[in-house]
Amino acid sequence: MTVDTGFDVAGPPPPAPSHEGEGRRLVSGLRESGVGSAWKPGRWFLVGVLVWLGVGWGSTHPLGKIATETGHGPFGLIFWQQVVMVVVLGTIALVRRKGMLLTPAALRFYVVVAVLGTLIPNGTFYYSVAHLPAGIMSIIIATVPMLAFPMALALGMDRFSALRLAGLALGLLGVALLAAPGAALPDAAMAAFLPVALVGPLFYAIEATFVAHRGTQGMDALQAMLGASLTGLVLCLPVMLALGESYSPLPLGRDDAALALSSALHALLYATYVWLAATAGSVFAAQSSYLVTGAGMLWAMALLGERPSPMVWLALAVMLAGVALVQPRARPGKMVEA
């Protein structure tokens, strides 16, 4: 297996690469298909796109919290989220004239990624964000690459690094600072929802490791995401009905508009992320993960009136330092065969 800097195919915001794996093959495939090769933008344009990714993705957690305001169940929200995702990604597929693969291997891939990367983590996200500040959720999602690193080590997909182990330790410290009684959370009872909030990043990390280990079965990232979104929609339907969480979003209220906007943003931002990774490299694109967490905090202050305590800002700084250490380093021209 070729080991080099990668990015997660169907992962969550932020799109931080968890370890070195499938990314070079994905980016190379996109370049070969013409994505990112017809036009060579300047440096500052690429920086602007990076900022757009961070600011846009950072808004999705506060919007997700707004979507829970009227008490809709998690799987009802996931169902309509997937409807919007399929519409947006399907439109992009029509423009590209490149649809889903329907091979047995691709179908298995869709099911695994839909379960690991949508149904379970989104279900726990909507449950926990209804009880926790959106800014806290933006910090917690940064644990994805830290959780994925030991998984990659266990599977022999990455090599031990003392610096990256230190990054994992800083991530744990950041979570501990959030959970400290009376320090970060406005209500001590909220600490009970932190373990639930961490289930999402854990499953995102498992999903990212699965994709990096098994590959995307001949699909590019947008094909994979469209297939996983459509499969997630199909799988979510019976769960939603069984739990009695179905509802109609019409007429659109503030919560429905927030869900539709966050879902459409995620699809468009992911398409942009794939383009940026193919154009400027996956390591450059992954720097958006720092912006996502910080922007999420600022969006929560602007949209929800949240005012994080000094301990929350300290936890944010510690978490971002951990992300910086865990991130793989670019090694131009160097490929390691494993």
**Domain limits, the chain:** 2-337
Q: Is pLDDT above 60 for 8?
A: no
Sorting pLDDT into bands at 50, 70 and 90, what band is 28? very low
DSSP letters for 164-182: HHHHHHHHHHHHHHHHSTT
Mean local confidence (pLDDT), 171-199 = 88
**Nearest-angstrom CA–CA distance, 277 and 280:** 6
Give the list of residues 6+ apart from residue 147 with CB closer than 8 angstroms, or none. 18, 201, 202, 204, 205
For residue 172, CA distances in Å to 35, 250, 311 come to 38, 42, 15
78-91 pLDDT tens trace: 999 999 999 999 99
Of 22-36, 105-119, 217-231, 320-334, which gets the smallest average pLDDT?
22-36
Give the list of residues 6+ apart from residue 231 with CB closer than 8 angstroms, or none. 107, 110, 111, 113, 114
pTM: 0.83
pLDDT at 314: 93
Query: What sign does the CA torsion over 310, 312, 315, 316 have?
Result: negative
pLDDT at 330: 52
Please state the φ and ψ torsions of residue 337, each to the nearest 5 degrees.
-90, 130
pLDDT at 290: 79
For residue 217, CA distances in Å to 101, 133, 207 come to 9, 38, 15
| Closest CA relative to residue 255, chosen from 118, 65, 91, 57 | 65
pLDDT at 78: 97
pLDDT at 329: 55
